[in-house]
Amino acid sequence: MDPHGADLRGNPLGGLVYSNAFGTDNNTYSQVIEWHNFVGGDAFCFKACNPAGADAARYCEHIFDRIGCAYNAPNNAQNNVFEVCDGESQDFPGIYSVNGVEMTYTQPAESLGPITTMPYDPVVPASSNCRPYASSDLFGAIATVGASGASATGTGRPSGTRTGSAAGAGATNGASTLAFSSISLAGVIFSALFLS
């Protein structure tokens, strides 16, 4: 899923992302016009790129949909570990080096069958300052719907956490990694599955 789609109206149609991670304060939300989301194969990843960054479209490239998270958002995520880390910017998806020469990967057409080999291994960007969260911190305040479907409880926002924070603030190339709450992801997945 990405903000463009075949007709430049979003994939899913009307898919929009807003964040308070890239502004000067945490109270001002702005539209993030470059993002991508991959779901499947027992994994998911979501990346939003700083709209003011000169290379936002290149960091949030969305044409490599058949190679998923490992190449589009390489990371060191671990099963059953919830943490937020500061991180360096990754290499542009699809760009790699062979003997010092920059190469660009071209994804083969789906009609040619499954992709069984790749010409390069993704480089996981360095991370630091990792802060763990208990799953109850993330999921304890999720809104619940009663049996009648008429009432909801909860704030829909994990207590003690922000819905977005910029990481990699020391990077000079204008790219940032966006950490966001699981509630935001649930909304994106819901809209992708049920509204498209």
| Residue type present at position 66 | R
In a domain, 152, yes or no: no
Q: What is the pLDDT of residue 93?
A: 95
pLDDT in tens, 138-166: 777 665 555 544 444 333 333 333 333 33
Whole-number Cα distances in Å, 49 to 13, 52, 71, 144: 20, 9, 16, 31
Query: Domain span at residue 44?
Result: 18-134+162-194
Domain assignment of residue 85, yes or no: yes
Res 141: pLDDT: 64
Q: Distance between CA atoms of 70 and 25, rounded to whole angstroms?
A: 32
CB atoms within 10 A of CB 50: 25
DSSP 11-42: BTTT---EESSSSSSTT--EE--EEEEEEETT
What pLDDT, in 10s, does the model give residues 103-115? Answer: 999 999 999 999 9
pLDDT of amino acid 41: 73
- Residue-level pLDDT at 196: 40
Please give the Cα distance from 133 to 112 (Å, whole number): 43
| Domain annotation covers residue 167 | yes
- Would you state the structure tokens that stand for residue 39, as one six-digit string? 């779901």
Tell me, yes or no, whether 8 lies in a domain: no
The identity of residue 138, as a single letter, is L
Q: Assess if residue 61 is contained within a domain.
A: yes
Q: How many domains does the chain have?
A: 1
- pLDDT over 70 for what percent of the chain? 71
Q: What residues have CB less than 8 Å from 23, skipping those under 6 apart?
A: 29, 30
Residue 142 pLDDT: 66
In a domain, 189, yes or no: yes
The predicted-structure confidence for 41-88, as pLDDT tens digits, reads as follows 778 899 999 989 899 999 999 889 889 999 999 999 888 888 889 999
Residue 142 belongs to some domain of the structure: no
Q: Are 133 and 85 in contact (CB under 8 A)?
A: no
